[in-house]
Amino acid sequence: MLQIAFSVPSGAHHRSVLQPMRDLLAQETDWQFLIITPGAPWSDQLFPFNDYPRERFSFAENGAADRVLAEVRPPLVVTTTAGLDPADPPILETAKRLGLRTATVIESWDNVLKMARVNRGLGKSGQRIVLPDHLLVWNEIMKRDLLRLFPVLTRDQISIVGAPRLDYFGPRFTAQLPSKHDTLRAFDLDPSQRVLHLATTELYDHGHVARAIGEAKRRGDLPSDLQLYASVHPGGNMERHRPWAEQYGFTIRFSPGRHEGAPHPDFRYNPSREEMLLLVSLFTHTDIAVNLSSTVALESCVADRPVICAFFGKPFDWLTWRRSMVVRDFREHYADLLRGGGIAVARSPRKLIELIRTYLENPTKDREGRRRSAEIIATTLAGDASERVLHILKALVH
């Protein structure tokens, strides 16, 4: 029986590849799986038995990776980064030293550009790039960027597979999605009212956007049946956003998947499949989404829900705004998403409110653009990215 090794350095990485693939992996009856993770001592809690049956899945800490890989000698070692997570370079280097084949399923659409920054010495502490034998990417843009930024690579070393974590929007999981009523109740929202979702990140303060929306609602410039919901990034600071409830009328919650009592800090964000399905259902039943250059724009396009990029900074904060990662991302990978024409860009509070009103009156506006935008980044909207990944992994093993 073949034993395939997967590196899972955090809950976010678990969410991106292994979790949406687990049912498909379980169907490979001649495969077993070695999960190398800092969460190994708490595997019973972080990787439940029902999801990862122990006759098929075993776990090892990163500190034991050298020994375990040498003992098991798996025909393939799979990671989700080529060094953006400091846990992965030692695993890739050990595998190469042992003559084991390696593959990286790049977990997010911005990671290739981040890899290039690390290569230029602009990465975070502990980051360094170790290229695997094969890379699996979301789209043609990422493949092209890899070939341009890492000339040592050849086209045959890179496969386009789509985004496994977006498979939850596809038919494989449709029957498992909670109802609109149960979804909105889970976020303390009223199922009888429409929903505006302001998705925040920690890259720049979103308070000025929340204020513009909240004040417009109080003036009567937005419909009375529109409820305001703000999601706090799982790694974000709730206290920074909590005042919006009283000041601007928002319901504020962490995005599903944050677990304060996690036994390891890298798994504080570790959404279960049920939490991922709840999030997908929220996107599906949101009437309008507002973001600042975040992945929520892509997810909204996949769910075919109107989405606006609020591309303006706080008053009298021009320099900080122009230097922010929101602006950098807007000019880099987010620009590729915008090319499809599915995302409206508001460059002022007045334009933001105008666009919200427009989309609420005509939710089908820019529908074809949303589909194009989603396909540019996600490649496949059929929910079959995990199957594509598995197909490539099989080819690499055999």
122-165 pLDDT per residue, tens: 888 889 999 999 999 999 999 999 999 999 999 999 999 999 99
Instruction: Give yes or no: residues 60 and 138 share one domain.
Output: yes
Task: Give the list of residues 6+ apart from residue 360 with CB closer than 8 angstroms, or none.
Answer: 194, 222, 223, 226, 287, 288
Residue with tokens 């589909």: 371
What are the tens digits of pLDDT across the range 333-345? Answer: 999 999 999 999 9
| Residue 125 burial (CB count, 10 A) | 5
3-state helix, strand, coil in the chain (%, to 5): 45, 15, 40
Instruction: Give yes or no: residues 148 and 233 share one domain.
Output: no
Instruction: Give yes or no: residues 13 and 146 share one domain.
Output: yes
Could you give the CA distance from residue 350 to residue 260 in angstroms, rounded to a whole number?
38
Could you give the CA distance from residue 189 to residue 14 in angstroms, rounded to a whole number?
29
What are the C-alpha distances in Å from 211 to residues 22, 319, 353, 361?
42, 21, 11, 22
Q: What tokens appear for 184 in the block?
A: 């909105």
Are the C-beta atoms of residues 22 and 51 closer than 8 Å to each other?
Answer: yes
Instruction: Give yes or no: residues 221 and 144 share one domain.
Output: no
Are the C-beta atoms of residues 277 and 178 closer than 8 Å to each other?
Answer: yes
Instruction: Give yes or no: residues 314 and 329 share one domain.
Output: yes
Are the C-beta atoms of residues 260 and 282 closer than 8 Å to each other?
Answer: no
Task: Give the list of residues 6+ apart from residue 156 with CB closer than 8 angstroms, or none.
Answer: none
Instruction: Give yes or no: residues 181 and 88 share one domain.
Output: no
For residue 352, give its domain range: 174-378
Residue with tokens 């109080």: 218
Instruction: Give yes or no: residues 55 and 180 share one domain.
Output: no
Task: Give the list of residues 6+ apart from residue 99 with CB closer than 8 angstroms, or none.
Answer: none
- Res 285: pLDDT: 98
Instruction: Give yes or no: residues 14 and 124 share one domain.
Output: yes
**Which residues, listed in sequence order, are joined to residue 33 by a DSSP beta bridge?**
4, 57
Instruction: Return the SS3 of 114.
Output: helix
Instruction: Return the SS3 of 101.
Output: strand
Which alpha helices (DSSP H) does the chain contain, by range?
11-13, 19-26, 43-46, 65-72, 88-97, 111-119, 140-149, 180-186, 207-219, 238-241, 244-248, 273-284, 296-302, 318-322, 325-331, 333-338, 349-361, 367-378, 385-397
CA angle, residues 301, 136, 73, in degrees to nearest 5: 140
- Res 235: pLDDT: 85
Nearest to 301 by CA among 315, 291, 311, 310: 291
Instruction: Give yes or no: residues 185 and 162 share one domain.
Output: no
Number of domains in the chain: 2
Residue with tokens 């025909």: 75
Which residues of the chain carry a pLDDT beneath 50? Answer: none
Instruction: Return the SS3 of 195.
Output: strand
Instruction: Give yes or no: residues 88 and 123 share one domain.
Output: yes
Q: Which DSSP letter does residue 165 get?
A: G
Q: Which helix (H) or strand (E) is 80 found in, with range?
A: none
Could you give the CA distance from residue 87 to residue 63 in angstroms, rounded to a whole number?
10
CATH number at residue 234: 3.40.50.2000
Beta strands 307-310; 101-105: pairing state: unpaired
Q: What tokens appear for 378 in the block?
A: 């996600």
Are the C-beta atoms of residues 21 and 93 closer than 8 Å to each other?
Answer: no
Instruction: Give yes or no: residues 319 and 273 share one domain.
Output: yes
Are the C-beta atoms of residues 140 and 160 closer than 8 Å to each other?
Answer: yes
Instruction: Give yes or no: residues 369 and 387 share one domain.
Output: no
